[in-house]
Structure 1
């Protein structure tokens, strides 16, 4: 099969482009402006509740006791839930086209990438898929880890630094590596 024949079998680029509804596009523009003007400049800890207020105004379900750093990138606040006493650390990328839920007393360390969407590579049109991420209570996702679409991390899990999590993880265990693998039980002394 030559290149010209293959081109006729491939979908046109106009057939593969995912378009979010106009209301989402407008909300993203407004969020981008609000993020730059009202969220990001207030970097000191004193303004922690101010940032929670801004997120709540955009539809996030964030506990007043949660800490979300000023340089966290949040794609869609309306798709974010954060429980009491949880923390999303500096430079976390919360790519939440799909919903992301974080339970109570959990820590998402610096530079973690939470990705709640992907593309269906088995389809010729390569459509966008929204796959929620659920992170339980008392979880620690260590620095620079990647948590992929559709992953459920149960209560009490520790994910090691730079781990790549593409499958759901069972509760009260420690995982690490690329790909993420079981290391040991999480026990308290």
Structure 2
């Protein structure tokens, strides 16, 4: 391949040059800063640069975002230390998603069959209640199904099925995810009803 002939083709960053510079020199350092640990300031900054972000989003120190104008985040999302959202294309993170420490979301790739190492981009979509564990990597074009888990250090270049736990490089399904809090709530509710019936019976 000839890297001296490399171009980005028709690709565009999606914002004027002045906005890119302002983000690079002002916005990005604020969001990434370890000296400013306040999520509210980081969220405010990302919104000012075009990110769509819901309520109660926690952003830890060291988080990097390539282009905030190509980022959409739902409610109650946690993004851990040193996560890297490399969003040359759109990244959508739905509500109640956890991105743990050092997670890398990669939306860009290259065509190794092309003589000029052609750039290729594709969006990433992480659906509600998913967990991407520490140091995991997600490639371009991947959709993480609702409630899926990609475990510690997992790497995936393909979409993940809902409510399934994946591990390894390349990530393989390990087992179905079972969330038991609903059963606990149902049990507590049943116990409460039984207690009320018992109390009513005594009073009678």
Q: Which residue of 2 aligns with 1:158?
A: 149
Q: TM-score by structure 1 length?
A: 0.86
Q: Give the equivalent residue in structure 2 for 1:167.
A: 158
C-alpha contact (below 8 Å) 1:43/1:69 kept by paired residues: no
**1:12-91 counterparts in 2 under 5 A?**
13=4, 15-18=5-8, 21=12, 23-35=15-27, 38-39=30-31, 40=33, 43-44=36-37, 47-91=38-82
Residue in structure 2 matched with residue 176 of structure 1 by the alignment: 167
Cα distance in 1 for partners of 2:18, 2:112 equals 28
Three-state SS of the structure 2 residue aligned to 1:122 is coil
* Cα distance, 1:119 vs structure 2: 1.0
Change (3 A) 1:150 1:37: closer
Would you say how many aligned residue pairs link Structure 1 and Structure 2? 177
Gap runs ≥5 in structure 2 = 181-204
Across the aligned residues of Structure 1 and Structure 2, the Cα RMSD in angstroms comes to: 2.0
Determine which structure has more spread, i.e. the larger CA radius of gyration.
2
How far apart are the structure 2 equivalents of 1:175 and 1:126?
31
Does 1:137 find its partner at 2:128?
A: yes
Unaligned runs of 5+ in 1: 1-9
What TM-score comes out, normalization by structure 2 length?
0.80
